């Protein structure tokens, strides 16, 4: 940057949320994912304040102010942990941070599985990297944002959300290999279809839910497989033949978790083929198969989202549907013929209201660029 932002010229940054077409809970198993960034975002305005260590972080969305001392960062609870975690990881890597003020506001629905937490982490890291000319690479920003969530929030998340937020490209999905972070961009050409999200209004708190348990169960599966197949270092290395060979010795719940991950990895690669072949019917089938796996084998769905999925699939214009995000609430992702979007929205909302007494909020997905400086 040519000039440091001043009071009259703050540094403005936009950090988007993300959807994930397919590939849930595969990232921390060194698998494949297919996310994209969306046009809902967190908007930041950064300024240096001249203090060596005092920071003021204002969330206009929440109507709250956090004051942080760079010399006294520690987990405290709530949204502040995401902030403190990023600051601690930036200091660990650069040591160059000084006092700053930042205001941010979000139009990403919280708890909907759209990675508002990753947007907060990555937007903060990206902006401070520019503001203080820290010289950190995009990959360093991705990794430090992930580690902030591990160390300060307590969610042992994979790397998909942060990677998508930083590396997103307008009108493209990212086929990401979470083993080595090799990636390529897949045009988001859905033909005569659209992606429609339906929010359940059930907010998930991953650190307080079964998310970390699922990761531990996968690690246990790898450890048990290694006893017979030492070449297996993650579920990415396992095959259906490996699971079948240990069918009698693997605990049922561990076998289910492992089977889901293996099948979901295969679905991601098939989804890329479907996109490249413009096979929307085949893509929809994969989405619905993914939901069944998440519901039955990985057991991260909930009655409200199952209802949204099943109700949507009763409409002929819906080609596929599944729960999206870490699970335990959030929203459904629906592949819908564009001409049917309005009728599907109205019908699903009415049925949901009648059954649960609350609204299912719709959101039509538009794929945007990743974190960026904005005017």
What tens digit of pLDDT does each residue of 289-298 get?
999 999 999 9
The C-alpha atoms of residue 101 and residue 265 are separated, in whole angstroms, by 42
Residue 363: both structure tokens together: 């959101």
Domain CATH for 183:
3.30.230.10
Domain CATH for 209:
3.30.70.890
Is residue 108 within 8 Å of residue 17, measured between CB atoms? yes
161 annotated active-site: yes
Tell whether 204 and 62 lie within a shared domain: no
1 belongs to a structural domain: no
Which of the two residues, 284 and 76, has the higher pLDDT score?
284
Whether pLDDT at 3 is above 60: no
Whether pLDDT at 4 is above 50: no
87 belongs to a structural domain: yes
Residue 210: both structure tokens together: 């079964």
Tell whether 213 and 147 lie within a shared domain: no
Tell whether 124 and 146 lie within a shared domain: yes
Range of the domain at 250: 193-364
pLDDT at 2: 34
Largest CA distance in the chain: 68
The C-alpha atoms of residue 6 and residue 10 are separated, in whole angstroms, by 6
CA dist list (Å): 289 to 266, 320, 327: 11, 9, 16
Among candidates 333, 336, 285, which has minimal Cα distance to 305?
A: 333
Residue 98: both structure tokens together: 């000084």
Span 308-359, pLDDT tens digits: 999 999 999 999 999 998 888 889 999 999 999 999 999 999 999 999 999 9
Tell whether 242 and 110 lie within a shared domain: no
Tell whether 163 and 221 lie within a shared domain: no
Tell whether 208 and 161 lie within a shared domain: no
Percent of the chain clearing pLDDT 90 (strictly above): 84
The C-alpha atoms of residue 317 and residue 311 are separated, in whole angstroms, by 12
Angle between helices 211-226 and 252-276 in degrees, nearest 10: 100
Active-site option among 27, 101, 161, 297: 161
Span 175-227, pLDDT tens digits: 999 999 999 999 999 999 999 999 998 876 554 568 889 999 999 999 999 99
Among candidates 325, 318, 343, 321, which has minimal Cα distance to 333?
A: 321
6 belongs to a structural domain: no
2 belongs to a structural domain: no
Tell whether 202 and 272 lie within a shared domain: yes
DSSP string, 97-134: ---EEEEEEE-SPTTSSS-HHHHHHHHHHHHHHHHTT-
How many domains is the chain partitioned into structurally? Answer: 2
Span 358-375, pLDDT tens digits: 999 998 889 999 999 998
């Amino acid at each position: 940057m040519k000039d440091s932002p001043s009071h009259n010229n703050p540094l403005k940054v936009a950090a988007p949320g993300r959807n994930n077409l397919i590939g849930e809970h595969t990232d921390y198993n060194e698998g494949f994912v297919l996310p994209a960034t969306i046009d809902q975002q967190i908007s930041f305005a950064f300024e240096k304040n001249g203090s060596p260590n005092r920071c003021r972080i204002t969330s206009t969305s929440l109507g709250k102010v956090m004051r942080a001392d760079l010399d006294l960062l520690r987990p405290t609870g709530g949204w502040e942990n995401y902030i403190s975690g990023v600051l601690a990881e930036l200091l660990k890597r650069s040591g160059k941070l000084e006092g700053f003020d930042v205001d941010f506001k979000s139009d990403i629905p919280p708890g909907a599985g759209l990675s508002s937490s990753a947007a907060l982490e990555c937007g903060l890291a990206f902006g401070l990297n520019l503001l203080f000319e820290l010289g950190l690479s995009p990959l360093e920003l991705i990794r430090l944002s992930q580690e902030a969530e591990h160390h300060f929030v307590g969610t042992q998340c994979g790397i998909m959300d942060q990677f998508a937020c930083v590396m997103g490209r307008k009108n493209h999905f990212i086929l990401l290999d979470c083993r080595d972070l090799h990636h390529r961009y897949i045009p988001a050409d859905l033909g005569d279809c659209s992606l429609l999200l339906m929010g359940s209004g059930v907010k998930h708190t991953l650190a307080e839910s079964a998310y970390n348990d699922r990761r531990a169960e996968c690690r246990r599966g790898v450890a048990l497989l290694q006893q017979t197949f030492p070449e297996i270092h993650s579920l990415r290395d396992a095959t259906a033949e490996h699971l079948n060979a240990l069918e009698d010795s693997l605990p049922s719940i561990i076998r289910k978790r492992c089977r889901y991950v293996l099948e979901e990895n295969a679905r991601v690669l098939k989804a890329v083929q479907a996109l490249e072949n413009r096979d929307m019917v085949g893509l929809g089938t994969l989405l619905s198969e993914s939901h069944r796996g998440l519901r039955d084998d990985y057991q991260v769905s909930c009655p409200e989202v199952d209802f949204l999925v099943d109700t949507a699939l009763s409409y002929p214009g819906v080609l596929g549907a599944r729960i999206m995000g870490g699970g335990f609430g959030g929203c459904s992702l629906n592949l819908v013929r564009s001409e049917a979007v309005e009728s599907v929205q109205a019908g699903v909302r009415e049925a949901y209201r009648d059954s649960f007494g609350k609204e299912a909020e719709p959101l039509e997905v538009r794929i945007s660029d990743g974190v960026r400086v904005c005017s």
